[in-house]
């Protein structure tokens, strides 16, 4: 079954709607310059409810060039399961997070060595957009992603929508898909209908 991650959650209402739609993973963005940025305290309020009511849902913190101490503090405070490193982090930084972090690549990476974790997801593949750390709405290189997906359980991001996610799954065959802007009614505001449509499209693609 393809894992579905809905990223850029900012309210408990959106988190619950995403879970109701069928999301497996929820992402919270801690990049201060991002439109989906959430404060640590606000996130902790949301995740405390989710951990109690929906312990099976995986919670992911999205970081861009944050210090290791800051990431560990936020992960502990917000009860996060994983850290998604979306900046220019090194293998060394990845390894300091005790197997609880995975790298996000913007574009097809020249080298994977050391970055691919043994657990799923091995890493995330996003579109390459200059100066933008994710959430751009631009589709990734599906051809390149398909080649990598033969070797690694990767999480595919980049411009996915209810309309194109089925084609992406058929072409790439990823371990999971990650969506942010594609299920929003406005920047950082999730649309319950679009989230449901997205999940349905994924499940239909799997059944064919």
Domain coordinates of the chain in residue numbers? 3-207
Catalytic residue among 14, 43, 78, 126: 126
pTM, full prediction: 0.95
Residue 137: predicted pLDDT: 66
d(CA 135, CA 200): 21
- Identify whether 126 is a catalytic site residue: yes
- pLDDT tens digits, the chain, 208 residues: what are they? 999 999 999 999 999 999 999 999 999 999 999 999 999 999 999 999 999 999 999 999 999 999 999 999 999 999 999 999 999 999 999 999 999 999 999 999 989 989 999 999 999 999 876 655 555 567 889 999 999 999 999 999 999 999 999 999 999 999 999 999 999 999 899 999 999 999 999 999 988 7
Yes or no: is domain 3-207 CATH 3.20.20.70?
A: yes
Is 78 one of the catalytic residues? Answer: no
Catalytic residue among 7, 43, 78, 178: 7
Q: Hey, CA dihedral for 151, 100, 66, 38, is it positive or negative?
A: positive
């Amino acid at each position: 079954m393809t894992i579905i991650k809905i990223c850029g959650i900012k309210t408990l209402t959106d988190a619950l709607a995403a879970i109701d739609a069928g999301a497996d993973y929820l992402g919270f963005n801690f990049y201060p310059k991002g439109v989906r940025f959430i404060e640590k305290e606000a996130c902790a309020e949301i995740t405390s409810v989710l951990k109690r009511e929906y312990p099976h849902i995986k919670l992911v913190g999205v970081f861009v060039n944050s210090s290791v101490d800051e990431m560990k503090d936020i992960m502990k405070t917000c009860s996060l399961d994983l850290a998604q490193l979306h900046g220019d982090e090194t293998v060394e930084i990845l390894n300091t997070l005790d197997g609880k972090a995975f790298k996000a690549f913007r574009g097809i990476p020249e080298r994977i060595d050391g970055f691919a974790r043994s657990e799923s997801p091995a890493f995330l593949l996003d579109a390459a957009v200059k100066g933008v750390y994710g959430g751009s709405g631009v589709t990734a290189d599906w051809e390149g992603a398909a080649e990598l997906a033969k070797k690694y359980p990767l999480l595919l991001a980049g411009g996915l929508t209810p309309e194109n996610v089925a084609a992406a799954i058929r072409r790439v065959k990823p371990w999971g898909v990650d969506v942010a802007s594609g299920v929003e009614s406005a920047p950082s505001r999730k649309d319950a209908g679009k989230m449901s449509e997205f999940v349905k499209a994924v499940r239909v693609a799997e059944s064919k």
